[in-house]
Structure 1
Amino acid sequence: MARFPLTLFLGLAAFTLSFAQPVPNRSPLTVEQIMQGERFVGFLPEDISWHPNSQEVHFSWNPGMDTLRSGYRTTAQGAEPKPLSLQEQMALPRLGAYNEDYSRMVYSKNGDLFLYEVGAGLARQLTNTLGGEYSPAFAPGGQAVVYQSGDNLFQLSLQDGQLEQLTNFREGAERKEGTPGGQDSWLEAQQDELFEVLRWRAAQDRLRKAEREALEPKRPAPFYLKGQRLSNLQHTPDARYVTFRLTQSAEAKRTQVPAFVDGSGYLDISKARPKVGHPQDTHEMGIYDRGRDTFYMVSTEALSGIRQKPAYKLEVYGDTARAYDNPRAVIIHSPVFSEEGQAVVTVRAQDNKSRWIARLDLATGALEEIDHQRDEAWVGGPGISGWNFSTGTLGWLNEEEVYFQSEATGYSHLYVHNLSTGERRALTSGPFEVREASLSRDKETFFLTVNAEGPHEQHFYHLSVKTGELQRITTAPGKHEVSLSPDEKHLAIRYSYSNKPWELFVMPNRAGATPKQVTSSTTPDFDAYPWREPKVITFSAADGAKVPARLYQPKGGSKGGPAVIFVHGAGYLQNVHRWWSSYYREYMFHNLLADNGYTVLDIDYRGSDGYGRDWRTGIYRYMGGKDLSDQVDGARYLAEELGCDPSRMGIYGGSYGGFITLMALFNSPETFACGAALRSVTDWAHYNHPYTSNILNTPQEDSIAFRRSSPIYHAEGLQGHLLILHGMVDDNVQFQDVVRLSQRLIELGKDNWEMALFPMEPHGFVEPSSWADEYKRIFKLFQTQLRK
């Protein structure tokens, strides 16, 4: 049975009593009020999508504050939104695959296939089965549909309803006769030699089998999976070739998350993720040539640097061999086919250091390298393939040219590569990022989301393929999340500004058009408060870098007053911008703090999103290095430039922000008087593999990086007051993290820390009561330690 130190629970009881009394609050806002979340702000429009007719926009909304959100519709011209009944939602077609002239669309809904006639606006159900049909696409000519059911592909004729199975993937292994030279084979041969009746019957069986096979129609050759997982079935437009991924599962020990409070009254334990450094699944891509009825695998041997070792092994650990004996493990992402059936693929190394773009010869399985992006930190950035099986931006401009995104210049930009000449041209350039990119139907225009106006705004652009002219379509400062209508004539835009939550707008897809607001979602209580527009500033770090931040100041200024630094979570996330933050509760809390005389600084430290490759990788092999020094330099800016009291500095944040809070109190105790660490990572060796291995490699291979980056190794430095808050059913940063840290603090004899636990909360809190309890404790900590 799990045991917890008695000291920990005594500390918790004392902590609860110490925080039972309310603290003075000079703001018209209350913690209980703002932590109601959507119930206070309003339910903002989400899940924007277009009807295939390009005239209706559908979205999720809840203006009436009902128990659940509902589906709503408006028009491309911005008509008053109307709720969708359940019957209307059931009848709605979904966006799917179009035929060559975009007159028909085929889609899957609830596991069945439907054909939608765009001009007539009519949908016809093609299948009605329990098995499930998915990922439909038109065959050339548009008279048949290819789709997946189970582990196989099928083709359904739209003319006569004939159904053909195109592949024959099977579970298990092929049954084989006895091994030649083995005992079973010897015994079978002896029986055949001794007994004429057995020879006669065997001859009859062979003849019957041959006759049966001669009478059977031609079937695709079977492929036995032999315990491997099949995924990513893709086919060329003419369905001549089928590509697939085989995954061999590794034996990885999984973590466990106990739920102490659930409906059963018992302790429920669920399995969760493994920890970083666990054995990794291995992947390979295969090809089935239907014309030759044969299978073969794709080889990565020809890729440049496929055996290259990472630099840290040579430079830090003195590895003398510069190359591995065998090719590095990779993941080959989904192929992208041209109209004529050529294929290009993204290949991602599992050590995170390389990404290749290559042409795939479907007839042989050979790869012809187009681009190799190598990064001794890790390959990443917007539009670039990731560890989560995303291909990134990749497509065919024509049969000669492919386009993709790369961080070759330090910022993610769009490139076109000519396969015949090898010529490459950059379609975008400069100190900004292409956040999203898609090609128009006529292949003359790219539709882009770009932060060209600066990292704090994102706008929608048109980019001419021929001239390279970049034309801005949206104009209002902030962020525009654009959904393009299927006919590419209209935009549905979810737009927000720093102090204005997301609303839905529609407009024609052209420069100079005026957006029309469709929704108005905020509540009267929310609208009654004059929400601050945080000032976007930069300050100088000790190494000369200009660090972006958002500044909240109290009336009367900051001189001589207390200050709080907020550290956003997720690591690779942007929170210094001019749009409604995903940390909107924290945004409202910062207004409350400013009302109470606090200056609040919200920093996009090294490792944050939106600022290019060097900023993104500034934390490689040392989390708690530059990302922490940016907080310390922010505190220095608050004291030296704004006149805040350097002895009254607090810090707080959740997840990665909780980790930085711990590192700040442990490694820079002279800077911060107190801090609140929410759902914080305390030891990176106990976090997940995909995120952590990008930045720190693995504990087995790079113990130095993990030791200097993990707060649990630095806990002896704690001097200020530490408040730890954690959900007990957190399956991301697990409860074990803070339990281990608490034991370390107990053994170190630290007594200026407290912990509050939330028995029914996961990583992202759900219940308003938990949010309120958590932030009342944080506010109490600041009022107690910084209001002197």
Structure 2
Amino acid sequence: MKKLLLFVIIVSALGVQAQIQKNNKSVLTIEKIMQDPDQWIGTLPERISWDDNSSNIYFNWNPGMDTLSSLYSYNLKSRKTEKVSLKEQQNLPGRFSDYNSDNTKKVAIKNGNLYLFNLKKGTEKQLTDWLKRISAPQFVLDDSHISFLLDQNFFLLNLESGVIKQVTNFSSGDERPERKSQGQDKWLEEQQMELFDVLKEREAMNNARERQREKEEIPEPLKIYLGKNRLRDASLSPTGKFVIYSTFEMPQGQKSTSVTHFVTESGYTEERDARAKVGSLQASSEMGIFDIENNKTVKIITDEIPGLKDLPEYLNDYPDKKPKDDAELKNRELSLFGPVWNPESDKAILVALSTDHKDRWILLLDPSTGKLDLLDRQHDEAWIGGPGIGSWGYSTGSIGWMPDGTSVWFQSEESGYSHLYTVNTETKAKKALTSGKYEVSEASISNDKKYFYFAANKVHPGVMHFYRMPVWGGELTQITSMEGNNEVTLSPDEKYLAIRYSYANKPWELYLQENKPGAEATQITQSTTDKFNAYPWRVPEFITFAAEDGAEVNARLYRPENAEKDGPAVVFVHGAGYLQNAHKWWSSYFHEFMFHNFLVDNGYTVLDIDYRGSAGYGRDWRTGIYRHMGGKDLSDHVDGAKMLVEKYNVSPERIGIYGGSYGGFITLMAMFTEPGVFAAGAGLRSVTDWAHYNHGYTANILNTPVEDSIAYRQSSPIYFAEGLEGALLMCHGMVDDNVQFQDIVRLSQRLIELGKENWELAVYPVEAHGFVEPSSWADEYKRIFKLFEENLK
């Protein structure tokens, strides 16, 4: 039956393709490919997880085309997939949980309260019953206690007695100084004590009673005043002697933007607060130590971290901003993350990140003194980043203690690619555990501490596999075998892999595989619809070409089978900048993938490039756009267009370009600064001026406008609008809270003042950055197709 079904699908696909070739017109329509993807493609499995006994896989899915996705489970024993009832979902523990050292018990939060699960017996016990919500539960003190946060304070629950103890005494606001008499009042008090014995006797008695109470009472934890800060996290040392806590403060006086909504239920326009702009005041954070035994705080000493006074190289372009001598040098600001406690002692690892994004320090902390000892410094004159390194998310990144208890593992781009390293905290000896022209991500150590598990694109930049490696380094064992992307969720007993897998023309499905190299992966879900499967979606050609500077650029190429001589072509620019799309798995740009098939059916060649700045290719590729967006990332597209002319029978006068967000930005730069290369371009939700984008993304790459105006001026399309020659279409959502509508309005005014006529702007009143409504998607891509038909054919 399966063979017959496969035969019918193949024959049907061949028939569709023959019809397309005969008519030179796609059987697809823009309305069809831009309709609700859940109804057209199917709802794909997401948020994969296991139960604690490694017997069920949970995932979000919607094969019945309900209004919303539901939680499903697959049972390994019965091999049945079933919808999880609402009652069963309510009894499942929340995402915030922790396991004891031998993985026999778990503490989790349900409905804001603590629950203890005995995984061997399959029982659960409610530990608290409060209206207030608990967070951050953890097993501590050799699994004898559970720590948690409540109302900005740190608590310990004794599992044997059930007693809950408050460990910290954080308080909002500032400490009020003790009121002391001064001047005339102080003189009068001293006179009274000098003249009257009864007052002296009463004071002595009160002091004696106070001393007696102090001896008899259990001392309260020291009150620590947080000022305007809020508690972010707190963590107890293995011996229970120290708490390391971190706080944050939102910036005072930060000027935020707002987004005007025009189509509202009330009929009135509504203003909604949105993000601040790059260079604005940012939230600040602090980290401190509470010494429980001595009831005191300990300051973490950061002044001695090496390199704090180093100046960034870009200041060479601004000699007036450089300090005149060393005496004027100041320590750069930094943020501390962690701690990662040694399991057996009061040693902790902290990660420090400079707020100018150019340094990452891995440090050993002695909590009794607050002193830091440098283990590793990662410096990048562009910005710190890469898989497992944590700069984008401002976190510790992937890091932990090795089985010997004296070494730490972490990730670094020291070799040019993100790899695993260890450093001994005593000898400072550092060792690379992996190496090569590939990137490691999602690393973790096995339950028995003998192996590392991680994902890597070792076989090909566009293929992700799951690997095992001896914990101290050695040969990598590839466990998955399906070409494409294998997103693995390992079962708690580490016997099975739940794999969310896809290929270039095959959307994500859920598979199950034994944790053995070469084991067969069994498909669990079938998500795509019959109407989607009826079309023979192409597998693009995965090619490379040489850029002008000799770099090898990866790309996807879509070609008509019988392409006309000197035919038309379209270059697609993916968004996000640091994102990969010329890979061998199902793209997050699935609308564009389908549109590219539609374009090929209509005679176009399509090129999709992983340009400079894209993910997956190491440090040099990642930082190739530093201080000049629209530099090498744009020249890669220009070189791609030349390659189409030279190798694939494309006319140099019939090439278009389009993309959204960062792709829209590149499209604008191409149309403004590369005359004659692209006859038409469509910029969607485009950044037009980086000085108006957000801080977290932009300051990494361009520093800030005040500090580095050169970078912003050479990277922003609005400064080059006078160069527009070809036909330009711009599309933008009016309630975009990411690349805000103001961006495209400012550029439109610039084009008007320059007297440019070969452009148009389409606005979408109810759409934010990522379009939602199928009608908006369809309207946008009809306009793009019309632009290409009128200007490239």
Q: CA deviation at 1:133?
A: 1.2
2:38 is aligned to 38
Whole-angstrom CA distance in 1 between matches of 2:588 and 2:312 = 35
The residue identity in structure 2 corresponding to 1:343 is: A
Normalized against structure 2, the TM-score is what? Answer: 0.93
1:348 is aligned, of 353, 361, 364, to 353
Whole-angstrom CA distance in 1 between matches of 2:375 and 2:143 = 32
2:759 is aligned to 753
1:304 is aligned to 306
Of 218-227 and 679-688, the range deviating more from structure 2: 218-227
Whole-angstrom CA distance in 1 between matches of 2:81 and 2:559 = 38
Unaligned runs of 5+ in 2: 1-22
1:86 is aligned to 86
- Residue 333 (structure 1) aligned with residue 337 (structure 2): yes
1:267 is aligned, of 255, 266, 269, to 269
Q: CA deviation at 1:216?
A: 3.5
2:701 is aligned, of 695, 700, 705, to 695
Whole-angstrom CA distance in 1 between matches of 2:106 and 2:685 = 46
Cα distance change, pair 466–229 in 1 and its aligned pair in 2 (3 A): closer
The residue identity in structure 2 corresponding to 1:173 is: D
The residue identity in structure 2 corresponding to 1:365 is: G
Secondary structure of 2:288 counterpart: strand
Question: Conserved in 2, the CA contact under 8 Å of 1:384 and 1:392?
Answer: yes
1:362 is aligned to 367
- Residue 373 (structure 1) aligned with residue 378 (structure 2): yes
Q: What pairs with 1:623-662 in structure 2 (closer than 5 Å)?
A: 623-662=629-668
1:396 is aligned, of 401, 408, 411, to 401
Cα distance change, pair 532–202 in 1 and its aligned pair in 2 (3 A): farther
Question: Conserved in 2, the CA contact under 8 Å of 1:576 and 1:604?
Answer: yes
Q: What pairs with 1:761-772 in structure 2 (closer than 5 Å)?
A: 761-772=767-778
Q: What pairs with 1:62-461 in structure 2 (closer than 5 Å)?
A: 62-76=62-76, 79-94=79-94, 96-178=97-179, 185-186=182-183, 188-193=185-190, 213-250=214-251, 251-315=253-317, 317=319, 319=322, 321=324, 325-341=329-345, 342-397=347-402, 398-461=404-467
Secondary structure of 2:651 counterpart: coil
Whole-angstrom CA distance in 2 between matches of 1:321 and 1:519 = 66
Secondary structure of 1:662 counterpart: helix
- Residue 491 (structure 1) aligned with residue 497 (structure 2): yes
Secondary structure of 2:338 counterpart: coil
Whole-angstrom CA distance in 2 between matches of 1:728 and 1:233 = 41
Q: CA deviation at 1:704?
A: 0.6
Unaligned runs of 5+ in 1: 1-23
Q: CA deviation at 1:627?
A: 0.5
Q: CA deviation at 1:145?
A: 1.1
Q: What pairs with 1:701-720 in structure 2 (closer than 5 Å)?
A: 701-720=707-726
Secondary structure of 1:648 counterpart: strand
Q: CA deviation at 1:391?
A: 1.2
- Paired residues, number: 760
The residue identity in structure 2 corresponding to 1:192 is: E
Question: Conserved in 2, the CA contact under 8 Å of 1:31 and 1:775?
Answer: yes
Cα distance change, pair 97–519 in 1 and its aligned pair in 2 (3 A): same
Of 610-619 and 187-196, the range deviating more from structure 2: 187-196
Whole-angstrom CA distance in 2 between matches of 1:107 and 1:725 = 46
Secondary structure of 2:466 counterpart: strand
Question: Conserved in 1, the CA contact under 8 Å of 2:687 and 2:739?
Answer: yes
Question: Conserved in 2, the CA contact under 8 Å of 1:308 and 1:322?
Answer: no
Superposed CA deviations along residues 583-637 of structure 1, whole A, max 9, x for unmatched, are: 1111011000110001000000000000000000100000000001111111111
1:14 is aligned to none
1:520 is aligned to 526
Question: Conserved in 2, the CA contact under 8 Å of 1:288 and 1:295?
Answer: yes
Q: CA deviation at 1:463?
A: 0.5
Cα distance change, pair 756–206 in 1 and its aligned pair in 2 (3 A): farther
The residue identity in structure 2 corresponding to 1:229 is: R
Q: CA deviation at 1:25?
A: 9.0
Question: Conserved in 1, the CA contact under 8 Å of 2:152 and 2:230?
Answer: no
2:788 is aligned, of 759, 782, 785, to 782
Whole-angstrom CA distance in 1 between matches of 2:303 and 2:143 = 38
Q: CA deviation at 1:212?
A: 5.4
Cα distance change, pair 760–205 in 1 and its aligned pair in 2 (3 A): farther
Secondary structure of 1:335 counterpart: strand
Whole-angstrom CA distance in 1 between matches of 2:218 and 2:792 = 82
Cα distance change, pair 222–520 in 1 and its aligned pair in 2 (3 A): same
Superposed CA deviations along residues 151-178 of structure 1, whole A, max 9, x for unmatched, are: 1111112222111001111111222234
Question: Conserved in 2, the CA contact under 8 Å of 1:44 and 1:502?
Answer: yes
Whole-angstrom CA distance in 2 between matches of 1:302 and 1:194 = 51
Whole-angstrom CA distance in 2 between matches of 1:766 and 1:711 = 27
The residue identity in structure 2 corresponding to 1:309 is: L
Cα distance change, pair 407–583 in 1 and its aligned pair in 2 (3 A): same
1:54 is aligned to 54
Whole-angstrom CA distance in 2 between matches of 1:281 and 1:92 = 35
Question: Conserved in 1, the CA contact under 8 Å of 2:24 and 2:603?
Answer: no
Question: Conserved in 1, the CA contact under 8 Å of 2:652 and 2:677?
Answer: yes
Whole-angstrom CA distance in 1 between matches of 2:199 and 2:60 = 72
Question: Conserved in 2, the CA contact under 8 Å of 1:346 and 1:356?
Answer: yes
Question: Conserved in 1, the CA contact under 8 Å of 2:298 and 2:368?
Answer: no
Of 596-605 and 109-118, the range deviating more from structure 2: 109-118
CA-based RMSD: 2.0
Name the % identity. Answer: 52
Q: CA deviation at 1:380?
A: 0.7
Of 60-69 and 759-768, the range deviating more from structure 2: 759-768
Whole-angstrom CA distance in 1 between matches of 2:58 and 2:476 = 30
Question: Conserved in 1, the CA contact under 8 Å of 2:569 and 2:606?
Answer: yes
1:26 is aligned to 25
Cα distance change, pair 142–784 in 1 and its aligned pair in 2 (3 A): same
Question: Conserved in 2, the CA contact under 8 Å of 1:438 and 1:448?
Answer: yes
Whole-angstrom CA distance in 1 between matches of 2:603 and 2:77 = 46
Of 59-68 and 190-199, the range deviating more from structure 2: 190-199
Q: CA deviation at 1:227?
A: 1.2
The residue identity in structure 1 corresponding to 2:385 is: G
2:544 is aligned to 538
- Residue 610 (structure 1) aligned with residue 612 (structure 2): no
Secondary structure of 2:628 counterpart: coil
Cα distance change, pair 322–688 in 1 and its aligned pair in 2 (3 A): farther
Whole-angstrom CA distance in 1 between matches of 2:485 and 2:732 = 32
Superposed CA deviations along residues 14-56 of structure 1, whole A, max 9, x for unmatched, are: xxxxxxxxxx992111111111222211000001011111111
Superposed CA deviations along residues 75-131 of structure 1, whole A, max 9, x for unmatched, are: 246823100111010111346211122111111223111111111122222112111
Secondary structure of 1:543 counterpart: coil
Secondary structure of 1:334 counterpart: strand
Q: CA deviation at 1:737?
A: 0.4
Of 587-596 and 200-209, the range deviating more from structure 2: 200-209
Whole-angstrom CA distance in 1 between matches of 2:314 and 2:380 = 12
- Residue 598 (structure 1) aligned with residue 604 (structure 2): yes
Whole-angstrom CA distance in 2 between matches of 1:527 and 1:492 = 24
The residue identity in structure 2 corresponding to 1:221 is: L
Superposed CA deviations along residues 666-709 of structure 1, whole A, max 9, x for unmatched, are: 00121111111111100000001111111111110111110010
Superposed CA deviations along residues 699-758 of structure 1, whole A, max 9, x for unmatched, are: 101111100100000000011111111111111111110011111111111111111111
Q: CA deviation at 1:558?
A: 5.5
